[in-house]
């Protein structure tokens, strides 16, 4: 029968709209102020930690709405922003530096709704749901690392050329190379100048000593700083990608600082830990002949260093580095045959060759994995830069049972540390330590105002469209308005359902544009129905022809707009992508509601009936 949908098609329309409405519901519950606690450096967040935190908050008269322990993390919800800041301070003081305590905004979605996959839309930084970090690169450490590398290179090169030297050390003047006679100094200077054109060499010999001082040239120093900044930006981008944050912003500010913005992030504590950490590893041989007790009293053998073991005690390692983390190509947290956490590491070709050569001569001897991390001390140096504390721990000591190649494992970590270390090594090591000099959650003032203004603009635009449609198209206008409201609900539902979709202020503009485009489809259909009625067609024929003939026009205009939005998404960044995502979703849902949705209602009311006139 003409203008009659089969039952399955009507059910399909109802089910699709109901699903969209269901996943839009979580956006009505808002968010709670919360404090998140994550363990670092061997600590653990468990029921005991939860009880301790709750007791501390109770003593400080901070009301806890809900305390949740899940996946080794503690999330404590409080009543307002003031209590949130106070809670962070007292928890940090109580737990110490082995825990990361961060501010968070936790979705207030009921548990039963969460279990069914319901969650609110993630909001961009310009609304309310992101974290802003201003990070500073320690350029002094980058220069020190490069200078130490040059010292090692000079030693190797001079030995290869069989040029005798009395000693090489790094000092405030530069790299000092001492010789026993003037001939050796002259040969070394001539040779090193040809091999190290980025260094400036000065002969500072006296009557009783022969000294050659090498300094990094100004051009090379500038290049080191630029490379350190760019490399750190690349590494931080990789780390943000590993965290799975949608539409991140990682960009430089000035000569030594980096801005990182994480819109829609949920786990701010983990983000702070991963972005702020400067973790790397080195492999050293254990000095089996060293007297550990004497070393602990300060008598460390020349060429050795005393380090603390993470599992307790100390160990004496040889200063010579067998391999650094720079050659790591891949890292994955796995478990051994006894279900103990480990990190499976793969090296690049050069690293594999180096590791193979050094382990070949040390089979049967103990090798240590040295974990190096820089932490913010919360103080500043005289020049205003953040003072960093270098933490070095031996995380494992294992006997080399056979010659090792490009693939091996690191043990001695708990599960969380294995996950974090694998992430950091996989994303790349920071060429210099970074410290978070500014951290803030965007939203309480500016974000709330943006949300209010955006919603007001959308409400006014929607109201004008609704009034116009009812006045101009009467009953059919009311049907179009119902479809329009269903379209807005579906856009919100789909945005909430898609992982990584973030609503920004331009995204709200995309929703407003979608409202206009959705009603535009109904206008084309209704005008075509009017034309058919004026041409003398029956009511049923006019409805059929109106929807059938207007479809091609609606499809053409929407497809071209969708392609444009797709290009914006592909080449755009940040807010532009947010606008494009909202627009693409809006186009898809508007075509469904404007064509299929309104047709179902029109068919249910007038389809297949003897009707002489239409209220259109």
Domain membership flag for residue 130: no
228, 193: one domain: no
Domain membership flag for residue 131: no
Model confidence band, residue 225 (pLDDT cutoffs 50, 70, 90): confident
**pLDDT above 60: residue 59:** yes
Q: Which of 217, 248, 279 is the last residue of a domain?
A: 217
Domain membership flag for residue 547: yes
In this predicted structure, what is the pLDDT of residue 16?
A: 92
14, 46: one domain: no
**pLDDT above 60: residue 42:** no
Determine the Cα–Cα distance for residues 432 and 235; give it in Å rounded to an integer: 11
> What does the mean pLDDT of the chain come to?
81
Max Cα–Cα distance, the chain, nearest Å: 119
389, 494: one domain: no
Residue 421: Cβ-neighbour burial (10 angstroms; 0-12, 13-18, 19+): buried
Cβ pair 372, 341 in contact under 8 A? no
Containing domain of residue 186, as a range?
140-217
Contacts of 571 (CB under 8 A, 6+ apart): none
In this predicted structure, what is the pLDDT of residue 246?
A: 47
Residue 367: Cβ-neighbour burial (10 angstroms; 0-12, 13-18, 19+): buried
Q: What is the rounded radius of gyration, in angstroms, for the C-alpha atoms of the chain?
A: 33
Which region among 376-385, 401-410, 573-582 has the lowest average model confidence (pLDDT)? 376-385
**pLDDT above 60: residue 476:** yes
Most confident of 337-351, 377-391, 426-440: 337-351
Q: What are phi and psi of 125, to 5 degrees?
A: -60, -30
Cβ pair 109, 29 in contact under 8 A? yes
User: For 527, how many CA atoms within 13 A lie in the half-sphere containing its CB?
Assistant: 11
Domain membership flag for residue 412: yes
Taking only the tens place, the pLDDT of each residue in 69-113 is: 877 788 899 988 788 888 888 888 888 767 777 777 778 888 888
Which of helix, strand or coil describes residue 288? Answer: coil
User: For 550, how many CA atoms within 13 A lie in the half-sphere containing its CB?
Assistant: 24
Model confidence band, residue 426 (pLDDT cutoffs 50, 70, 90): low
Taking only the tens place, the pLDDT of each residue in 265-312 is: 645 666 676 676 656 678 899 998 888 888 888 888 888 899 988 778
185, 148: one domain: yes
In this predicted structure, what is the pLDDT of residue 152?
A: 77
Domain membership flag for residue 523: yes
Determine the Cα–Cα distance for residues 37 and 101; give it in Å rounded to an integer: 5
Domain membership flag for residue 56: yes
Q: What length is written for the chain?
A: 616
CB neighbourhood size of 361 (10 A): 10
Cβ pair 41, 100 in contact under 8 A? no
Model confidence band, residue 244 (pLDDT cutoffs 50, 70, 90): very low
**pLDDT above 60: residue 443:** no
Cβ pair 304, 316 in contact under 8 A? yes
**pLDDT above 90: residue 422:** no
253, 266: one domain: yes
β-pairing, 280-285 vs 323-324, is: antiparallel
Q: What are phi and psi of 486, to 5 degrees?
A: -65, -35
Most confident of 89-98, 139-148, 325-334, 480-489: 480-489
**pLDDT above 90: residue 15:** yes
> 142 forms bridges with which residues in the sheet?
none
In this predicted structure, what is the pLDDT of residue 405?
A: 79
154, 59: one domain: no
**pLDDT above 80: residue 367:** yes
Cβ pair 264, 502 in contact under 8 A? yes
Domain membership flag for residue 371: yes
Model confidence band, residue 574 (pLDDT cutoffs 50, 70, 90): low
Task: Tell me which of 222 and 127 has the higher pLDDT.
Answer: 222
Domain membership flag for residue 403: yes
Which region among 190-194, 339-343, 419-423 has the lowest average model confidence (pLDDT)? 419-423
Taking only the tens place, the pLDDT of each residue in 131-179 is: 788 888 888 888 887 888 788 778 878 888 888 888 888 888 889 999 9
202, 62: one domain: no
- Three-state SS for 429-449 is CCCCCEEEEEEEEECCCHHHH
244, 98: one domain: no
435, 450: one domain: no
Helical spans, DSSP H, in 99-203: 111-115, 139-160, 182-195
Q: Which of 439, 462, 479 is the last residue of a domain?
A: 439
Q: Which of 409, 439, 469 is the last residue of a domain?
A: 439
229, 295: one domain: yes
CATH code for position 499: 1.20.1640.10
What is the domain count for the chain? 4
Determine the Cα–Cα distance for residues 579 and 126; give it in Å rounded to an integer: 13
362, 482: one domain: no
CATH code for position 337: 3.30.1360.200
148, 59: one domain: no
Taking only the tens place, the pLDDT of each residue in 506-548 is: 888 888 888 877 888 888 899 998 988 888 888 888 888 888 8
């Amino acid at each position: 029968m003409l203008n009659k949908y089969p039952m399955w098609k009507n059910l399909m329309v109802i089910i699709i709209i109901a699903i969209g409405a269901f996943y839009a519901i979580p956006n009505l519950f808002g968010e709670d102020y919360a404090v998140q606690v994550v363990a670092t450096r061997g600590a653990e967040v468990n029921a005991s930690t939860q009880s301790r935190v709750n007791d501390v908050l109770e003593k400080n008269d901070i009301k806890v709405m809900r305390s949740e322990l899940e996946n080794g993390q503690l999330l404590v919800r409080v009543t307002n922003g003031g209590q949130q800041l106070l809670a962070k301070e007292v928890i940090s003081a109580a737990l110490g530096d082995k825990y990361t305590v961060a501010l968070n905004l936790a979705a207030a979605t009921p548990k039963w709704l969460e279990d069914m996959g319901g969650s609110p839309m993630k909001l961009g930084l310009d609304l309310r749901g992101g974290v802003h970090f201003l990070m500073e690169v320690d350029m002094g450490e980058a220069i020190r690392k490069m200078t130490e590398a040059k010292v090692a290179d000079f030693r190797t090169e001079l030995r290869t050329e069989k040029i005798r030297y009395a000693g090489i050390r790094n000092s405030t003047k530069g790299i000092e190379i001492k010789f026993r006679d003037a001939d050796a100094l002259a040969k070394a200077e001539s040779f090193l100048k040809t091999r190290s054109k980025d260094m400036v060499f000065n002969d500072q010999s006296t009557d009783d000593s022969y000294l050659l001082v090498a300094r990094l040239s100004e051009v090379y120093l500038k290049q080191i700083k630029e490379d350190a900044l760019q490399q750190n930006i690349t590494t931080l981008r990789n780390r943000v990608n590993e965290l799975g944050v949608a539409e991140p912003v990682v960009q430089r500010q000035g000569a030594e600082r980096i801005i990182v913005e994480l819109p829609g992030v949920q786990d701010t504590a983990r983000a702070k830990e991963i972005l702020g950490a400067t973790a790397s590893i080195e492999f050293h041989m254990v000095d089996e002949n060293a007297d550990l007790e004497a070393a602990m009293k300060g008598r460390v053998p020349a060429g050795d260093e005393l380090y603390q073991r993470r599992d307790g005690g100390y160990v004496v390692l040889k200063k010579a580095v067998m391999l650094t983390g720079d050659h790591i190509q891949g890292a994955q947290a796995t478990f051994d045959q006894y279900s103990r956490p480990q990190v499976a590491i793969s090296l690049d070709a050069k690293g594999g060759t180096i590791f193979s050569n050094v382990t070949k001569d040390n089979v049967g001897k103990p090798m240590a994995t040295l974990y190096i991390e820089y932490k913010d001390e919360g103080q500043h140096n005289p020049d205003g830069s953040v003072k960093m504390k270098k933490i070095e721990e031996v995380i494992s000591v294992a006997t080399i049972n056979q010659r090792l190649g490009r693939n091996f494992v690191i043990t001695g970590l708990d599960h969380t540390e294995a996950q974090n270390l694998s992430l950091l090594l996989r994303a790349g090591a920071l060429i210099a330590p970074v410290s978070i000099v500014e951290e803030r959650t965007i939203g309480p003032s500016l974000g709330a105002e943006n949300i209010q203004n955006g919603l007001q603009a959308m409400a006014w635009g929607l109201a004008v469209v609704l009034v116009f449609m009812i006045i101009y198209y009467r009953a059919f206008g009311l049907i179009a308005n119902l479809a329009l409201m269903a379209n807005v609900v579906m856009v919100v539902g789909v945005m909430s359902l898609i992982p990584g979709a973030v609503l920004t202020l331009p995204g709200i503009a995309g929703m407003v544009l979608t409202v206009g485009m959705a009603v535009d489809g109904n206008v084309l259909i209704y005008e075509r129905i009017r034309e058919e009625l004026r041409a003398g067609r029956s009511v049923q024929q006019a409805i059929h022809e109106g929807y059938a003939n207007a479809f091609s026009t609606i499809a053409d205009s929407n497809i071209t707009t969708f392609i444009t939005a797709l290009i914006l998404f592909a080449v755009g960044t940040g807010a532009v992508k947010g606008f494009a995502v909202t627009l693409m979703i809006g186009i898809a849902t508007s075509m469904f509601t404007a064509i299929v949705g309104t047709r179902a209602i029109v068919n249910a009311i007038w389809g297949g009936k003897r009707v002489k006139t239409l209220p259109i």
